[in-house]
């Protein structure tokens, strides 16, 4: 998504916000880095961290030992920040020209797909066997990692899917669609429901560890807690007044992290934090220019920040 390219400035732009937060952000690990990365994810439930830099190098760290490993993704085009996923020693990387690479941790190419549309989102199933893909112009697609074949493509009334997720049990797939609907499919591609959203587009969806709850957010600037089996909205946060591009829900579905971007410039404007029992969407007192990723481990929400070109900081949000 071209809008995502604005996030390449994530590391160099700071949009002033008015954070108010009682949340604590505690460092749980420091990782030595060899330069700036612009997007990072947690792998294997928090065993490792994967990141991509602007030269399309994939950086891998073992969180227990801090060991760093560099893998070259042989792509001839820019990687979209959100077109990057990691699970079970598999890294998925997608380019703005439509190539998806699946690499193992040794850098061996397991699969290569050419979709001929800009890849804007990738999510691997927890077992690493399925890959959900979103592009600029098409509905969600589900690919089989082992065979390298597309299993199905979803549907929209018009336009593309934005954020996509596979449930932790691997049985359901969710898509935040540009036609303003949230759609759920079973793993075979059967549409379970299309739940109407707000007036503006949803950009991302996150699934709780138990698979029962969804966090959804987008251009409306607020977070929604939805029942994953029906898509029904259970709770809504206040609006931050800007767009939310990325959401991560804690394992027990009690708290959510959100990447907030300025609705006009599409540049990062803050990191939102929502306790679902409090309608207020708060902002963490972290400098968003340093945040390169977010995720969850068994204990809860995790931020990945680049303190300096030589250092990544892994931090728990409580």
Of the candidates 158, 212, 209, 210, the residue with the CA atom closest to the CA atom of residue 184: 212
Of the candidates 119, 199, 201, 124, the residue with the CA atom closest to the CA atom of residue 156: 201
CB 174 within 8 A of CB 131: no
As a whole number of angstroms, the distance between CA 144 and CA 163 comes to: 19
- Write out the E strands in 55-136: 57-62, 68-72, 79-87, 90-95, 99-104, 109-114, 119-124, 130-135
Q: State the minimum distance, in angstroms, from the CB of residue 117 to other proteins.
A: 9
Q: What three-state secondary structure class fits 14?
A: coil
Q: What is the CA radius of gyration of the chain?
A: 18
Phi, psi of 114 (to 5 degrees): -120, 105
For residues 120, 166, 161 and 204, what is the CA-based torsion angle, rounded to 10 degrees? -80
The smaller minimum CB distance to other proteins, of residues 113 and 181, is found at: 181
Q: Is 12 in the site for other proteins (CB under 8 A)?
A: no
Length of the chain: 318
As a whole number of angstroms, the distance between CA 291 and CA 312 comes to: 10
Stretch that binds other proteins, among 49-57, 100-108, 258-266, 305-313 (CB under 8 A): 258-266
Of the candidates 236, 221, 317, the residue with the CA atom closest to the CA atom of residue 26: 317
Q: Is 263 in the site for other proteins (CB under 8 A)?
A: yes
For 76, half-sphere exposure in the C-beta direction (CA atoms, 13 angstrom radius) is 1
Q: Is 204 in the site for other proteins (CB under 8 A)?
A: no
Q: Is 200 in the site for other proteins (CB under 8 A)?
A: yes
Q: What three-state secondary structure class fits 146?
A: coil
The smaller minimum CB distance to other proteins, of residues 175 and 304, is found at: 175
Q: What three-state secondary structure class fits 125?
A: coil
Stretch that binds other proteins, among 17-25, 101-109, 157-165, 275-283 (CB under 8 A): 157-165
Q: State the minimum distance, in angstroms, from the CB of residue 251 to other proteins.
A: 29
Site string for other proteins, 44-83 (x = CB under 8 A): ----------------------------------------
List 206, 243, 255, 296, residue binding other proteins (CB under 8 A): 243
List 56, 90, 141, 180, residue binding other proteins (CB under 8 A): 180
Stretch that binds other proteins, among 62-70, 102-110, 174-182, 302-310 (CB under 8 A): 174-182
Q: Is 265 in the site for other proteins (CB under 8 A)?
A: yes
List 50, 96, 119, 184, residue binding other proteins (CB under 8 A): 96
Total binding residues toward other proteins, as defined by CB under 8 A = 27
Q: State the minimum distance, in angstroms, from the CB of residue 75 to other proteins.
A: 15
The smaller minimum CB distance to other proteins, of residues 44 and 268, is found at: 268
Q: Is 224 in the site for other proteins (CB under 8 A)?
A: no
Q: Is 116 in the site for other proteins (CB under 8 A)?
A: no
Q: State the minimum distance, in angstroms, from the CB of residue 179 to other proteins.
A: 8
Placement of tokens 């560890």 in the chain: 209
Q: Is 157 in the site for other proteins (CB under 8 A)?
A: yes
The residues that touch other proteins, with contacts defined as CB under 8 A, are: 1-3, 5-6, 96, 118, 136-137, 157-160, 178-180, 199-201, 203, 219, 243, 263-267
């Amino acid at each position: 998504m071209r809008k995502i390219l604005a996030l390449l400035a994530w590391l160099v732009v700071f949009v002033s916000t008015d954070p108010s937060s009682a949340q604590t952000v505690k460092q749980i690990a420091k990782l030595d880095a060899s330069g700036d990365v612009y997007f990072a994810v947690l792998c294997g439930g928090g065993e490792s961290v994967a990141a991509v830099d602007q030269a399309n190098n994939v950086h891998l760290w073992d969180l227990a030992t801090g060991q760093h490993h560099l893998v070259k993704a042989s792509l001839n085009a820019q990687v979209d920040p959100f077109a990057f996923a990691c699970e079970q020693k598999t890294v998925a990387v997608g380019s703005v020209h439509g190539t998806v690479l699946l690499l193992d941790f040794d850098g061996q190419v397991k699969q290569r797909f050419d979709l001929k549309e800009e890849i804007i989102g990738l999510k691997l199933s927890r077992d690493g066997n399925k890959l959900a893909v979103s592009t600029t112009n098409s509905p969600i697609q589900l690919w089989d990692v082992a065979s390298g074949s597309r299993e199905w493509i979803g549907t929209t009334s018009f336009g593309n899917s934005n954020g996509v997720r596979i449930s932790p049990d691997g049985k359901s797939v969710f898509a935040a669609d540009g036609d303003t609907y949230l759609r759920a499919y079973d793993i075979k591609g059967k549409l379970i429901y299309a739940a109407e959203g707000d007036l503006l587009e949803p950009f991302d969806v996150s699934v709780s560890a138990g698979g029962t709850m969804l966090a959804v957010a987008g251009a409306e600037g607020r977070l929604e807690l939805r029942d994953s089996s029906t898509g029904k909205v259970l709770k809504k946060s206040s609006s931050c007044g800007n767009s939310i591009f990325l959401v991560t829900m804690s394992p027990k579905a009690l708290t959510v992290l959100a990447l907030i971007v300025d609705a006009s410039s599409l540049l990062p404007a803050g990191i939102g934090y929502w306790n679902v029992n409090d309608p207020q969407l708060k902002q963490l007192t972290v400098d968003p220019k340093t945040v390169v990723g977010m995720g969850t481990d068994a204990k809860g929400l995790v931020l990945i920040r680049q303190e300096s070109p030589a250092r990544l900081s892994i931090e728990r949000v409580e």
